[in-house]
Amino acid sequence: MWPSVPLVVPQATLGTAMGLAKSVQMVSIGISNLVVGQILGTKSSDVKIPLWTWQYMMIFMLANTISCIIASTVLNIVDYRQGSILNKTTKRSQRTADE
């Protein structure tokens, strides 16, 4: 995600875009931690957590992984249809800038 931000954002707003992307990432990680905490459902480290709660947590992580794969695939398809801005090689980017 990070190398893509400068490709799609004007230079004048690059810092703001990077900060916003970092904020969204940190909020998502925080929400994910809260969800895992709710699934495991214990406030004490001395309590044994039943196996089925770990299974639910792993299902949640698998769902996260699958949704990330789907989002990445959709992003690549949309990028391809709009001129492959995110997937340009360095040589193609330099050639486009020179023209």
| pTM of the complete model | 0.70
Per-residue model confidence (pLDDT) at position 35: 92
Within a 10 A sphere around the Cβ of 56, how many other Cβ atoms? 15
DSSP secondary structure letter of residue 44: -
Per-residue model confidence (pLDDT) at position 42: 72
pLDDT digits (tens, 9 = 90+) for 21-77: 899 999 999 999 999 989 888 776 677 878 888 899 999 999 999 999 999 999 889
For 39-95, strand residue ranges (E) read none
Measured in residues, the chain has a length of: 99
Per-residue model confidence (pLDDT) at position 95: 59
Per-residue model confidence (pLDDT) at position 77: 93
